[in-house]
Structure 1
Amino acid sequence: MADEIPVIPKASSIFIHSGNIINWNRLKRKPSTTPVEEISECIGSTLQNYFESADKNELQYLTELNCVHQKFKEKVPSEERGDLKLTVKIFLCSLQTPDYVTESIEKALSELDVKHIETALLAFPETENEEITLETIQPYWKALERMVDKEVVWSIGIADLDKKMLEQLYEWAEIKPIINQVNLDSCCVMPKDLVEYAKLNDIQLLTHNDPRTVLPIETLQDVIREKSTEKDSEFWEPLWVLRYSVLIKCRGIIQSKGFILKTQRDPKRRK
C-alpha cells in the first residue's frame, strides 16, 4: 500500500493465522525456503488477505487485530481425528511471561477446532546478555505441565538443550520431556553424552533447522511496512510464534501445516 495515511493507527496487538500452507503452491515451489523466510511470507500473505477484505474505516479504530487467512484456514476434521497427530512448536520471542505458552496453545486449539494436541514443544529465544538456565525454563515448563494436567496437551518436549540442561530439567520436572530437538547446524554430530542420557531416560532426540530467532524484529516490521505504511510498522515486536503440523499417522504424510503468532507494540512509544 503506497498510501501514507496509516492503515492501522490504533492497533497495539495482532494475532495472525496463516492457514494451511501446504496448499500454498508458491511455497511448495520453494523447498529451500528458510524458516524465517517461510514465516515472513506467511505473515505478509495473511496481512494482505486481511487488509483487502477488511473495512478500511473500521481498521482506523481497531486496537486488536485478528488476521486469519480465510482462503487457507482449515479446521482439523473431527471425523478423522483418531488418524491424525497434531504437533505444535512454540517459539518464545519474548520472556515477559509464561502466559504466552498458555495463550499460544489455547489459540491453536480454537483456530484448529480441536480438544487436544498430541505433542507440544518449547523453544527459547537467543538472548544477548542472559543465559538460558533451569530457572529461566521453569515457569514456562510449569505452564506446559498445566496444559497436560488439563488434558489439552498429551506430551511435551523442548529444543536445544545440551546434556547438562536436559538432565537438570528432567530431574526437576514433574512431567518429563519426551523429546529434545537438536539443531545439527550448531553441533554437526549429536553429542555422545546427550545421546546416552536420552537413551537411558527414554527421551527422543530429533533434529531441526530452526534458528533461535525465528522472527527477527526487523523482519516483522519490514513485512508490516510492505503491506501497510511506514508509520504502521513502527515499534512492533513478536511475542510468540506457534508452528503446527497435522500428520496422517498410518501414512506419515503431513496433511496440514501453518503458523499462528502474536505481535505487539508499545502504545507509549506511538505519538
Structure 2
Amino acid sequence: MTKLILSTANIISGGPSFLRKPGTFRSNLELTNSLRSNFLAAQQDYSDALTQSDGNANGNANGQTNGANGTSNGANGKHANGPGSRRPAADIWTERDGSALYVPRISWPVAGLQEDRSSYDITVKLFFLPDAPVHERERYVMEALALVQKELSIATIDLLIASFPGMSFEGDCEWDADKKNASQGNLEEEVATWAILEELYHQGVSVRPIVDQINVRDCCNVPPPLAKLAADENIELYVHADCTDILPSGTIRDLLGHGAQGAGVLSDADEGVAGLHGDIIPQWVVKYTAFVKYRGVIENKGYFAGAEIIDG
C-alpha cells in the first residue's frame, strides 16, 4: 500500500491561469489545474537540473563533445518514462519517504512565510472525501495539518473549517433548500469528527462552531431558520464556492496517468510502462490560505491531497 501526497505549492506566486465556469461542480478546477501545473513545473525543474549535472559530469570525463552527447542520451533514455515518452522518470521529480510518495517532491527548506507569524490570519479548510473510512478521520486531520504546518513553517492556525462529504446548501427556493438540506449528512459521524477537532484546539475544552460556510448559488436568501440559528448562537455565515466532492476518485488517475495531461506516475500496460498500480482511494484535501492582515493581501495559498493506492 502506498500513501500519495499531492501538492500544488503556492498558487498565488506561480499558479496557472484558468477560467472558472459557472456552477459549483466546476469549483475543483483550481485544485486540479494547480496540481497539474505543479507537476509539470517539477518535471521541468528536476529533470533540467539532472540533465545539466549529467552533462557536466560527462563533459569533464570525456570532453565537451562527449558531454553534449551524454546530455542528449540522458534526455532520451535515462530521463524518459517509457519508449517514445518525453516525460521524465517519476523518481526524478517525486520523492518516497517510507510508504509515502510525494508528488511532486517538496523542497521544505525554502518553504515558509515571509513575515512574522503575528502578521497573518491563516485559514485551513479540510475536506473529508466520501470514499474514505470515517474511522480514519483522526489520522487524516493529523496528516493534513502537519503538512500545512511544515509548508508554512507555523505551529498554529487561526481558523479550521471542516467540510463533510454529502453536505451541500442548495435549492431553487428557501422551502426546497430546507427540504434537501434536512436529509443530508450523518450527525453521529460529524459529532464524532468534531470531537477530534476540539482536541486539537485544547485538550479538555469544548469548542463551539463559530463559522458556517454555505453555498447560495441557487438560493437568493439564507433560509430564515438557519439565519435565526446563526444569530442566536453567534455563528458567522460565510459564502463559499467549493464543490461537495472536490476530488473524485477518477480525477487522481487522470492526473497521474499517461493521458495527454497526465503526469505518468501510474503504470500503463498498453505502453509497457512500469509505475504505481492498484485501486486509488482519495481520502482528504486541505486548502490553506495565509492572509497578511495589515496589507490586506493573500501571500500564500495552496492545497495538499491525500490518497492511498491499494495494490491490485
Assess same fold via TM > 0.5.
Answer: yes
Query: If each structure's strand is expressed as a fraction of its own residues, which one has the higher value?
Result: 1
TM-score of the aligned structures, taking structure 1 as reference length = 0.75
The answer on 1:32 being equivalent to 2:20 is: yes
- Number of the residue aligned with 1:98: 137
Deviations 1:143-197 (A, max 9, x none): 11111016xxxxxxxxxxxxxxxxxxxxxx9210000000112544211111111
- Number of the residue aligned with 1:76: 113
Unaligned runs of 5+ in 1: 1-10, 151-172
Q: CA deviation at 1:133?
A: 2.2
Q: 1:182 to 1:105 in 2, by over 3 A?
A: same
What secondary structure is seen at the aligned counterpart in 2 of 1:26?
A: coil
Residue 20 of structure 1: which of 7, 10, 13 is its match? 10
The answer on 1:139 being equivalent to 2:192 is: yes
RMSD: 3.1
- Which is bigger in relative contact order (C-alpha 8 A, separation at least 6)? 1
In 2: Cα distance, 1:40 partner to 1:116 partner: 27
In 2: Cα distance, 1:45 partner to 1:69 partner: 14
Residue 227 of structure 1: which of 263, 266, 285 is its match? 263
In 1: Cα distance, 2:195 partner to 2:188 partner: 11
In 1: Cα distance, 2:310 partner to 2:144 partner: 20
What secondary structure is seen at the aligned counterpart in 2 of 1:185?
A: coil
Percentage of identical aligned residues:
23
In 2: Cα distance, 1:69 partner to 1:58 partner: 9
Q: Is the 8 A contact 1:46 1:69 kept in 2?
A: no
Q: CA deviation at 1:240?
A: 0.5
In 1: Cα distance, 2:9 partner to 2:154 partner: 15
Q: CA deviation at 1:247?
A: 0.8
- Number of the residue aligned with 1:213: 245
In 1: Cα distance, 2:254 partner to 2:91 partner: 24
- Number of the residue aligned with 1:48: 40
In 2: Cα distance, 1:36 partner to 1:147 partner: 27
- Number of the residue aligned with 1:108: 148
- Number of the residue aligned with 1:259: 303
Unaligned runs of 5+ in 2: 48-78, 80-88, 168-182, 269-275
Superposition map of 1:175-194 within 5 A: 175-185=207-217, 187-194=219-226
Name the count of aligned residue pairs.
232
Q: CA deviation at 1:200?
A: 1.3
- Number of the residue aligned with 2:162: 122
- Number of the residue aligned with 1:155: none
Q: CA deviation at 1:46?
A: 2.9
